[in-house]
Structure 1
């Protein structure tokens, strides 16, 4: 198995890289922290013997001169540390930018960083366009993160300049950087979505408007699914659970649990005996909805490779609510009542045993703290 070392492990791209490594079952990466970058001997001790070094750390925002100096200095720190290694990584994958060498302080600094890194090893110079994806930092990582955050907070995105964007989902960029094999919910060819800024704002606004009522948007392709998952990541956990309307007449009750615009997918029910646990896994792209229709249960979730905190929702079939599982969060459902639990599930795609997009991961992991128990 490939052993990786990486800088920028706690950043947006770094977190997605670590999740994908876990999906692949590769060893946990050696993480190069700020203190390691500042000390060449410490750097060498961390990365020595790794197969591949991923240089993900960078400075993307701020004063132009600080951005330029920051990116050059980070590359210089890596080269100093590499020269101290007894068994340096055989390959360096650099999270570069399509703006490299474009005459701006940022672009020229990224180009200079690539030259420096190439002097100490075989360089895989990966020119990345605009990346988007779950848990991006608004007003920093991408316009997608910014628009999703504004909409999740009830606002309306502002479009100051309309231009075409080339967007790549961050998991696909992670797959390209680590050399992930084909066959999963990722695509290392980094397929782009080309979309105008105004069109993007209108698309996300339409998604948000419907989703406030629990409606699912059309999900015709991979980017539609991933944009929806990105928006949902900014809604979780504050917007959940979402109440459902129960309609009653002399015949009984009716609850609409899935309203999907031009959508497809798979709906199924399960029963669970008292104390039974279902789940203990996460998904990279699958949209999955839980609705308890009879009995009581606890839905528990933890963000993978990020925090030990567990978020909990107490749900009751007498007051149906929906909870959509965010991607890259391990989740489970536990019957907490004395009788049988009846749960309805919906996913946006049909189950494929060859590509299940389901990865085992316990919710309880290490020290934990309950940070939310709405419902």
Structure 2
């Protein structure tokens, strides 16, 4: 299958071409602004599927809208008809196609060319009126406020917000590309299409989340970045980092026993940290009423001791870094951990709640 992608160097086109190859499509013909009309015509003659993503949205004058949106789409549709092609044609339009401005009207004319092509030839056609698309590789200060906000937040530049409550509907680039690629299966009906999920939010909420992402390197508190809109926005935010922003330092607290560092805190799933212990050193010697901890010895040999604070029942277990084993603390049992090896011990620790100095739920009770 020969797949033509116009606008292949643009935001959506670049992501789509990469994901097409990931899905096993090898014969992808990329068309960009450097492609001559003659060469584009040759590509269309051999095409089996066309994604028309090229367009103009920041012209020097409004006449470019007509040429770059309406006329180019009409050219593609007419050439496919001229070649007696009945292949699927996808066009990237905009929600502004319903508005009475030069950009919106040029997109509406492009839609009409594609619709006429499909109806007159019987070919499949798909029209997407994309809302605000966000994701990696979208140019800041161009046509996506999300891209601009991400770039400015990372680089300590001001963000201009006229109305923080202004509503906005967003779709994520990965979802856009997944939806576009699904059309190659041939099971989708022609006509106007939409991308799911859509994320309704406000300009202010986007800015607040981005500020929280940036602050997390200092306070170590992460947002719920594993699902939904927050996941997508966090991924987008990270994509605007320059290589010298890929790492950051965390605080380390050391004494005669070793060092302790907190790595990550979550709002509702506890926190991660690690500590070290020199040979013969014991850490812990306390109990909790509710808090749970999970220990993983990454390096060294450890002796864990437990004592029930009400019955006095005792228990000991050994573990070491060569055989990964999670050791849990249990409410009501005092516990400690001793480095019984000859080298420094390194232990990873997760607690199900963030440490609260005002209510630490940690009570000293050394084990003999």
**CA distances 1:263-295 after superposition (whole Å, capped 9, x unpaired):** 58999xxxxxxxxxxxxxxxxxxxxxxxxx99x
2: CA distance, partners of 1:191 / 1:29:
27
1: CA distance, partners of 2:41 / 2:271:
49
Give 1:172 deviation, angstroms.
1.1
Give 1:64 deviation, angstroms.
3.5
For structure 2, the 5+ residue unaligned runs are 186-193, 274-297, 300-345, 351-368
Larger helix percent: 2
> Which SS does the other structure have where 1:242 is aligned?
coil
Give 1:35 deviation, angstroms.
4.5
**CA distances 1:135-165 after superposition (whole Å, capped 9, x unpaired):** 2111213111111111011123221134210
2: CA distance, partners of 1:149 / 1:265:
28
1: CA distance, partners of 2:116 / 2:30:
22
- Please point out which of 198, 206, 211 is paired with 2:217: 211
Is the CA contact 2:262–2:272 (under 8 Å) kept in the aligned structure 1? no
TM-score by length of 2: 0.63
> Which SS does the other structure have where 1:151 is aligned?
helix
**CA distances 1:14-50 after superposition (whole Å, capped 9, x unpaired):** 11112221332222411123354522xx223224443
Over 3 Å counting, the alpha-carbon distance change for 1:48 and 1:260 in structure 2 is farther
1:20 aligns to what? 19
Over 3 Å counting, the alpha-carbon distance change for 1:144 and 1:30 in structure 2 is same
Asked if 1:117 corresponds to 2:114, the answer is yes
Aligned-residue CA RMSD in angstroms?
3.3
Over 3 Å counting, the alpha-carbon distance change for 1:189 and 1:79 in structure 2 is closer
1: CA distance, partners of 2:184 / 2:226:
25
Over 3 Å counting, the alpha-carbon distance change for 1:212 and 1:8 in structure 2 is farther
TM-score by length of 1: 0.62
Over 3 Å counting, the alpha-carbon distance change for 1:198 and 1:81 in structure 2 is same
2: CA distance, partners of 1:198 / 1:167:
14
2:154 aligns to what? 152
1:133 aligns to what? 135
Instruction: Name the count of aligned residue pairs.
Output: 265
> Which SS does the other structure have where 1:235 is aligned?
coil
Asked if 1:61 corresponds to 2:67, the answer is no
Is the CA contact 1:44–1:84 (under 8 Å) kept in the aligned structure 2? no
Is the CA contact 1:54–1:178 (under 8 Å) kept in the aligned structure 2? no
1: CA distance, partners of 2:51 / 2:138:
19
2:167 aligns to what? 164
For structure 1, the 5+ residue unaligned runs are 183-187, 268-292, 295-341, 347-375
Is the CA contact 1:219–1:225 (under 8 Å) kept in the aligned structure 2? yes
2:338 aligns to what? none
**CA distances 1:69-97 after superposition (whole Å, capped 9, x unpaired):** 421232133235434547x4610011111
Over 3 Å counting, the alpha-carbon distance change for 1:44 and 1:237 in structure 2 is same
Alignment of 1:272-311 (within 5 A): none
